[in-house]
Structure formats: structure tokens, C-alpha cells
Amino acid sequence: MLKEPEPHVYFLNFGESTLDHELRMHVRDLGDRNPVLDEVNRFINREFKKQHINISFRQMEVYLKNLHGQEYKLVPVEEESKTIITRDDPAQEPPETKLD
């Protein structure tokens, strides 16, 4: 990233759960763009972690329905037992098919 012209940060918008900023900076060659972006993003990520700043990400619930009308909700589970659980009957055993 070049020191001249100096980088500028603009506060663009209040998002749904974000404060949207844009960082404008100049690089010497177009080929430097991605490495510089990577370095800046990694620096920001490290600084956020040091300051215990967490970024909230949107969450989505996903339901699958088969031809027989059975509905399944995808839920986050432990790494070793990735499965789906039915929405109709929570006590019912999950299907044998596992999602990866």
C-alpha cells in the first residue's frame, strides 16, 4: 500500500447488523492488489481478536421436505455426528443419511 496518496476510510451505511465502511488505498501495481487486501484484512482480523470484537453473522434455518411430506430441519451439531433432525417429531431418530 502506498503512503501517497494516503488511504481513506469512509463510513458508508448502517446495515441490518453492520456498520459498513470502505477503505480506499493505492498500490503500486495491479498485481499487488490482492496481497495487500489479504494483509490488511488479516491485520484487521487480528486486531479485532485482540480487542475481543466479535462480528455477528446472519443466521438461517434450513428445512428440507421430501415427497412424502416429512420435514427435516438442518441444525448445527458436533463435527463427528453430522445429521439432520426431523421437525415433525423431535423424539424420532434421525435418518441414517448423514450430511457432510
One domain, residues 46 and 15: yes
One domain, residues 22 and 45: yes
User: In this predicted structure, what is the pLDDT of residue 10?
Assistant: 97
Q: What sign for the dihedral angle of Cα 75, 76, 78, 80?
A: positive
pLDDT score of 56 more than 60: yes
In a domain, 44, yes or no: yes
In a domain, 88, yes or no: yes
Q: Which residues on adjacent β-strands are paired with residue 11?
A: 21
In a domain, 85, yes or no: yes
User: In this predicted structure, what is the pLDDT of residue 33?
Assistant: 94
One domain, residues 46 and 65: no
In a domain, 1, yes or no: no
SS3 39: helix
In a domain, 55, yes or no: no
Q: What is the residue range of 91's domain?
A: 60-100
User: In this predicted structure, what is the pLDDT of residue 9?
Assistant: 95
Which is more confidently placed, 76 or 88?
76
The predicted model gives 60-67 an average pLDDT of 84
In a domain, 2, yes or no: no
In a domain, 81, yes or no: yes
One domain, residues 66 and 44: no
Q: Which residues contact 83 (CB under 8 A, 6 or more apart)?
A: 77, 94, 95, 98, 99
How many domains are contained in the chain? 2
In a domain, 3, yes or no: no
The predicted model gives 59-73 an average pLDDT of 84
User: In this predicted structure, what is the pLDDT of residue 92?
Assistant: 52
